[in-house]
Amino acid sequence: MKKVLMGTEAAAVAAKLARIQVVSAYPITPQTVVVENLSDMIGKGELDARYMTVESEHSAMASCIGASAAGARAFTASSSQGLALMHEVLHYAAGGRFPIVMVNANRALAPPWNLYCDHTDSLAQRDTGWIQYYCADVQDVLDAVLIAFRVAEQVLLPVMINMDAFYLTHTSEVLDVPDQIAVDEFLPPFRPDHKLDVNHPRTFGNVCGADLYTSIKYQRQRDMLTVESLWKQSAEEFEIKFGRMHPAVDAYRHEDAEVLIVGIGSVAGAMHLAADRLREDGLAVGSLRLAMVRPFPLTGFLEATATVKHMVVIDRDVSFGAEGIIAQEIKAALAEHRRHIQTDGFIAGIGGKDLTSEKIIGFVLQAINKEGAAVRAGLSLWAEVLP
Amino acid sequence: MNEQPQTERELFIPGHYGCPGCGATLALKQTLEVLGEDTIVVMPAGCWSTLIGIYPYTCLDVPVMSVAFATAASTAAGVKAGLSIQGNEHTTVLAWAGDGGTFDIGFQALSGAVERNDDIFYICYDNEAYMNTGIQRSSATPAGGWTTTTPDSALKIQKKKNIVEVMAAHRIPYAATASIGAPEDLRCKVQKAKGIQGTRFIHLFASCPTGWRHVPELSVEISRLAIQSRVFPLYEVIDGERWQLNPMPDKIDVDRYIKPQGRFKSMTPEGIQRFQKQVDWDWRVLQSRCQSIEKEN
């Protein structure tokens, strides 16, 4: 069925289609519409679930963990400061192997206070052990939530579906909303082998010694490394069923590209346009959106970048004292597996600045010509700094 | 999950890692004997999260979930929601937290759960300091008490937080004090709370020989002296409004409670006087609350 929905509404519809059983959430702009809609769906009896109006994001994630441990499918949504407050319990969710799905609206962290897009909130949670997926558009939000639950429950790891503040949360698109029957076929009910069960008493997360601790972490790393291929399998089945592709690595005109523009999130469209226009000018340019950031989709990334000689990475985030986080990720992936590729990182599009194709063309030209408007701070170039 | 367990068995099995004379172990033993097998325990950081045993060993034969320090109430509420949506309304979800995890770091989550009236049973085993990390002050530590962060050179000045009053202010269906020094009273309260829907809270006095600096064999005796001296009176609050005093033994001076405990050894005679005055005042306030309710009834 075709529907016009914003990203937040699409996330709520997806959670409903996934037949979530417990939603526990705390309000924060620009996520709030997600959980407002879910509360209403539950209130009207359209969704058979428990809604927990918790007093903080920390409690939201803690109660999702409790619900998941009891064998229920749990969902929450958050953003920015809220996600930062959750940090401790994000580790518990992943370490406890609870397949929770969370939608995060990527918003800037204070101070200064700002409501607009920035990826540092979720990238700062990179090492919590969550699978991280960054959406290109609103349809991607809806579909990715469904794929996420399937993958999460196969590997028993939580998934964070990220959507850019306002660019996706508050932008309406015409969407294809799948039928419940088709979704039920794609996503079976959650039936974990181990859960809190009075007839089979077990301890969850009990204190343990050094040897076992290491081995448990090793197993988690091994399992996390299977996620790129698990996602691929589920995404392919999703494509067969629903006709839409959601790969972990979303490459465009890359086959013969010498220069590749790399970014995450809703910048994908502007990157495509920029590549098209630069091709018109005779430059072999392609683009690549890392849909998955954790685990790093190494196989897909290496395949898509075989011919590339130069990468222009756009980061809507920064690791202060280093550079853009995605630029670091790219360099780390390349260092082990490839010859040196020139990589120029731009910090841009944060705090409400739009990332247009014109701007991106400017980044590529500056990277090639070694001159342009962006100013250098360490390894990264900042495009929008006041003089 | 929806079937109630069929057999009765010992739920606290030998092999805990607690100190000799640990009041918190007695507290959970007595609690589980009443709650029975149809119980899931949610445990934040605290003495109990280590004395349960090192994985794969455990001294509890019920499902136990070890959770982040601040999340006893919120995780327990999530467990209950998860069970409930699957049709299980019978299992007791017990949040079992120490005073640090209740009075301090877990306080916000507890307040949230109580305000929502989540159907969980929350018991705070109170040993009046962060004992698991090595006897640091909490907001449950009594004024004038020694801990490693309120050493003799800087004894605690602030009064102990009255957690039951705070719970009552939430209009909680059931709140009570209980003590390992009054096991029958404790059992009755656990039984009563088990049958109530909504949030139930018991503030359970659990002496700690290691942190309070008394000999292990005095654990139960110290807890009795706390009741007798009115340092820790036994009472219940129904719906946050009806205060009921439980049968209390004859009153004794706080001296008798203070003297056997090394943590009070630096307390001056004036300090003891102040302590006595505070206890007397709190006792009168409690009595008048309970009496005024009796009159209304």
Considering the domain boundaries, does residue B52 fall inside one? yes
**Residue found under tokens 């292990």:** B216
The contacts of residue A196 (CB under 8 Å, 6+ apart) are A69, A70, A71, A202, A204, B40, B63, B65, B79, B83
Contact B75 A52 (CB under 8 A): no
Which domain does B97 fall in, by range? Answer: 23-296
Rounded to whole angstroms, how far apart are CA atoms A4 and B137?
Answer: 57
Would you say residue B1 has pLDDT above 60? no
Q: What is the pLDDT of residues B19-68, one digit of tens each?
A: 999 999 999 999 999 999 999 999 999 999 999 999 999 999 999 999 99
**Residue found under tokens 């599009």:** A349
Backbone phi, psi, residue B69, to 5°: -50, -45
**Residue found under tokens 């003590």:** B179
Would you say residue A256 has pLDDT above 80? yes
Contact B219, B213 (CB under 8 A): no
- Residue B33, Cβ density class (10 Å: 0-12 exposed, 13-18 middle, ≥19 buried): middle
Residues 114-143 of B with CB under 8 A from A: 115-116, 118
Mind telling me how many Å the CA of A370 is from chain B's nearest CA? 50
Task: Nearest chain A residue to B76 by CA: give it.
Answer: A66
Rounded to whole angstroms, how far apart are CA atoms A305 and A310?
Answer: 10
Contact B213, B263 (CB under 8 A): yes
CB atoms < 10 A from the CB of A144, how many? 30
Residues 283-312 of A with CB under 8 A from B: none
Contacts 24+ apart (CB under 8 A), B150-156: B152/B266, B155/B266, B155/B267, B155/B271
Q: Which domains are assigned to chain A?
A: 2-240 (3.40.50.970), 249-382 (3.40.50.920)
User: How many whole angstroms from its chain centre is CA A356?
Assistant: 21
Triad B150, B152, B158: Cα angle to 5°: 40
Considering the domain boundaries, does residue B12 fall inside one? no
Q: What is the bridge-based pairing of β-strands B242-245 and B235-238?
A: antiparallel
- Establish how many alpha carbons lie within 13 A of residue B274's alpha carbon, considering only the half-sphere containing its beta carbon: 13
Considering the domain boundaries, does residue B234 fall inside one? yes
Provide the percentage of residues in chain B whose pLDDT is more than 70: 96
Q: What is the pLDDT of residues B189-238, one digit of tens each?
A: 999 999 999 999 999 999 999 999 999 999 999 999 999 999 999 999 99
Considering the domain boundaries, does residue B17 fall inside one? no
Among B84, B120, B73, B66, residue whose Cα is nearest residue B1: B84
Considering the domain boundaries, does residue B14 fall inside one? no
Would you say residue A216 has pLDDT above 80? yes
Would you say residue B294 has pLDDT above 70? no
Interhelix angle B72-85/B107-116, nearest 10 degrees: 40
The contacts of residue A262 (CB under 8 Å, 6+ apart) are A287, A288, A289, A290, A311, A312, A313, A314, A326, A330
Contact B67 A88 (CB under 8 A): no
**Residue found under tokens 């019920």:** B62
Rounded to whole angstroms, how far apart are CA atoms A177 and A30?
Answer: 22
Mean pLDDT of B81-98: 98
Chain B residues within 8 A of A205 when measuring between CB atoms = 65-67
Q: Is A212 on the interface with B (CB under 8 A)?
A: yes
Considering the domain boundaries, does residue B265 fall inside one? yes
pLDDT at B292: 75
Test mutation, B6, B37, B75, chain A, max A CBs within 10 A: B75
Rounded to whole angstroms, how far apart are CA atoms A176 and A13?
Answer: 11
Mind telling me how many Å the CA of B82 is from chain A's nearest CA? 4
Handedness of CA A131, A135, A140, A141 (dihedral sign): positive
Omega before A387 within 30 of 0, i.e. cis: no
A205 → closest Cβ in B60, B67, B111? B67
Q: What is the pLDDT of residues B130-178, one digit of tens each?
A: 999 999 999 999 999 999 999 999 999 999 999 999 999 999 999 999 9
Rounded to whole angstroms, how far apart are CA atoms A94 and A219?
Answer: 12
DSSP string, A111-152: SSP--S--SHHHHTTGGGS-EEEE-SSHHHHHHHHHHHHHHH
Which DSSP symbol is given to B165?
H
Q: What is the pLDDT of residues A50-78, one digit of tens each?
A: 999 999 999 999 999 999 999 999 999 99
**Residue found under tokens 């009563």:** B192
Would you say residue B2 has pLDDT above 70? no
Element (H, E) at B66: strand B64-67
Cα-atom radius of gyration of chain B, to the nearest Å? 18
Considering the domain boundaries, does residue B2 fall inside one? no
Among B190, B237, B203, residue whose Cα is nearest residue B97: B203
pLDDT at B7: 54
Backbone phi, psi, residue A357, to 5°: -65, -35
How many domains does one find in chain B? 1
Contact A286, A257 (CB under 8 A): yes
3-state secondary structure B227-281: HHCCCCCCEEEECCCEEEECCCCCCCCHHHHHCCCHHHCCCCHHHHHHHHHHHHH
Mean pLDDT for all residues in chain A: 97
Q: What is the CATH number of the domain that holds B246?
A: 3.40.50.970
Rounded to whole angstroms, how far apart are CA atoms A215 and A59?
Answer: 29
A204 → closest Cβ in B65, B109, B118? B65
Would you say residue A339 has pLDDT above 80? no
Dihedral of CA atoms B41, B184, B22, B250 in degrees, nearest 10, equals: 140
Rounded to whole angstroms, how far apart are CA atoms B57 and B234?
Answer: 35
User: How many whole angstroms from its chain centre is CA A12?
Assistant: 16
Would you say residue B8 has pLDDT above 80? no
Would you say residue B297 has pLDDT above 70? no
Contact B58, A203 (CB under 8 A): yes
> Which range has the worst mean pLDDT, A251-260, A355-364, B3-12, B45-54?
B3-12
Contact B82 A198 (CB under 8 A): no
Contact A312, A259 (CB under 8 A): yes
- Establish how many alpha carbons lie within 13 A of residue A201's alpha carbon, considering only the half-sphere containing its beta carbon: 24
Test mutation, B10, B50, B55, chain A, max A CBs within 10 A: B55
User: By three-state DSSP, how is residue A237 classified?
Assistant: helix
Considering the domain boundaries, does residue B5 fall inside one? no
Q: Is B85 on the interface with A (CB under 8 A)?
A: yes
Among A183, A178, A187, residue whose Cα is nearest residue A159: A187
User: By three-state DSSP, how is residue A324 classified?
Assistant: coil
Omega before B56 within 30 of 0, i.e. cis: yes
DSSP string, B10-57: -SB-S---PPTT-HHHHHHHHHHHHH-SSEEEEEESSHHHHHT-STT-
CB environment A355-368: b (16+ within 10 A), e (fewer):
bebebbbbbbbbbb
Contact A209 B54 (CB under 8 A): yes
